[in-house]
């Protein structure tokens, strides 16, 4: 069979065996917890890995395995691990390479959940970190210590959409023989392939674009087979972070339209960004597809398209930002992203609330910043909604 397929063909067809009994096209859901064996020796060999197979649902599942294999193929990785959330993916990736006494360099404008993990949880177990401006390669390299065991980045970043040069950061990681971990949630493997650019481990919140329908919480880690085996046996399974069969099935279904959805998300986001950049009530727009973006050239080089997230600042600061999202009639105020619906949120008080208010600027977050996840609606309707909310907000500020 021809395996030199393009992305969307792989996303639909790769490793989708027909049911041997009824030739069902849809992937079967296997919700089993226990798996029976013909002998005690066979069971023992499965647990130790000498024999392939499943022995307990916390360590693997046939439906999830099909999905893991597909995700690995789409990311050009040796293997992938499906877990119960994006934070579980981040936790597995970091704990697989860090131990007590170790240090990690992390990009400064990072997801709020990652920030909270590394500032409240990690120190309790003797793991330290420094949040660094990783767009400055000299600053990044200067932050590496004798006990630094990993570099962790997300690009584009959440929520300020800083684009980092993966290949150049990977060169620094190789120089010091430490792994580079990249959060690829915003881009998906359809738009960016960090492993091809030199990354060692890739993480995803599959809750977002990979599933794409707002009805699943899941995550993935992609890397070498040995690294994924280590996470499955010693972290994911032992901590009970496994991905269940039903949610794996829903992601398998969602992946079939990933390419189509991402094309629409990107197209809508670019039109929205252009509209906002020209609007007198908006003071700044962050979107990698705009020539005004400081890393525009890097984005065009390492990304197939510019993603579905647009961040911007409304004239009038934090109060104007809150009034603006309250005036929206189509877009929904919500914490997530990557859904068919257009979603907006205020990072300083929502996703990044774990960062102290007086330190938000250090992480590239203004108090009035708005993050918008462009949905799949007709873009004219989204823009009309944004326009009326901006006009209403400015009118309220004038009349105060």
Supply the residues annotated as catalytic.
Answer: 58, 111, 183, 208
Contact 108, 155 (CB under 8 A): no
Considering Cα of 246, then 248, then 249, then 250, what sign does the dihedral take?
Answer: positive
- Percentages helix, strand, coil for the chain (3-state, rounded to 5) are 45, 15, 40
φ/ψ of residue 87, rounded to 5: -65, -30
According to DSSP, the β-strands at 332-333 and 343-345 are: parallel
Structure tokens at 254: 């969602």
| Cα–Cα distance, 220 to 83 (Å, whole number) | 6
CB atoms within 10 A of CB 208: 23
Strand order in the sheet with 79-83: 79-83, 219-223, 201-205, 180-183, 148-154, 103-107, 128-132
Q: Name residue, tokens 């069979």.
A: 1
Structure tokens at 72: 């690995």
- Residue 216's alpha-carbon distances to 10, 86, 168, 342, in angstroms, are 22, 11, 34, 17
| Cα–Cα distance, 349 to 334 (Å, whole number) | 12
* Half-sphere CA count of 275, side-chain side, radius 13 A: 19
User: Which residues are CB-contacts of 264 (< 8 A; sequence separation ≥ 6)?
Assistant: 376
| Cα–Cα distance, 186 to 92 (Å, whole number) | 19
| Cα–Cα distance, 323 to 320 (Å, whole number) | 5
How big is the chain by its Cα radius of gyration, in Å? 22
Contact 119, 96 (CB under 8 A): no
| Cα–Cα distance, 255 to 180 (Å, whole number) | 26
Contact 222, 79 (CB under 8 A): yes
């Amino acid at each position: 069979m021809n395996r030199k397929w393009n992305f969307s063909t792989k996303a639909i067809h790769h490793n989708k065996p027909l049911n041997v009994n009824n030739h069902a096209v849809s992937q079967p859901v296997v919700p089993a917890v226990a798996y029976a064996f013909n002998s005690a020796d066979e069971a023992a060999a499965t647990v130790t890995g000498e024999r392939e197979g499943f022995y307990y649902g916390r360590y693997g599942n046939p439906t999830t395995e099909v999905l893991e294999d597909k995700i690995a193929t789409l990311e050009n990785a040796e293997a992938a691990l499906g877990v119960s959330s994006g934070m579980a993916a981040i936790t597995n990736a970091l704990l697989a390479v860090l131990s007590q006494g170790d240090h990690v360099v992390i990009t400064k404008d990072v997801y709020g959940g990652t920030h909270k993990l590394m500032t409240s949880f990690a120190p309790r177990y003797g793991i330290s970190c420094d949040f660094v401006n990783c767009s400055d390669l000299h600053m990044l390299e200067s932050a590496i210590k004798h006990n630094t065991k990993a570099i962790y980045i997300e690009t584009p970043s959440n929520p300020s959409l800083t684009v980092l040069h993966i290949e150049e950061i990977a060169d620094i990681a190789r120089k010091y023989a430490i792994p580079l971990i990249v959060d690829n949630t915003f881009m998906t493997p359809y738009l960016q392939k960090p492993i091809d650019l030199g990354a060692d481990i890739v993480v995803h919140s599959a809750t977002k674009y990979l599933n794409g329908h707002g009805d699943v919480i899941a995550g993935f880690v992609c890397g070498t087979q040995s690294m994924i085996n280590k996470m499955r046996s010693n972290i994911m399974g032992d901590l009970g972070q496994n991905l269940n069969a039903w949610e794996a099935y829903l992601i398998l279904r969602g992946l079939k339209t990933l390419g189509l959805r991402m094309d629409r998300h990107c197209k809508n986001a670019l039109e929205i960004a252009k509209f906002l950049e020209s609007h007198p009530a908006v003071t700044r727009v962050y979107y990698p597809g705009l020539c005004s973006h400081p890393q525009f050239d890097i984005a065009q080089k390492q990304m197939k398209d510019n993603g579905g997230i647009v961040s911007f600042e409304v004239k009038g600061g934090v109060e104007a930002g809150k009034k603006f999202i309250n005036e929206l009639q189509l877009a929904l105020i919500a914490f997530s992203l990557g859904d068919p619906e257009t979603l907006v949120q205020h990072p300083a008080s929502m996703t990044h609330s774990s960062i102290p208010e007086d330190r938000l600027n250090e992480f590239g977050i203004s108090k009035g910043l708005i993050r918008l996840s462009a949905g799949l609606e007709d873009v004219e309707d989204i823009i009309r909604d944004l326009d009326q909310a901006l006009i209403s907000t400015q009118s309220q500020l004038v009349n105060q």
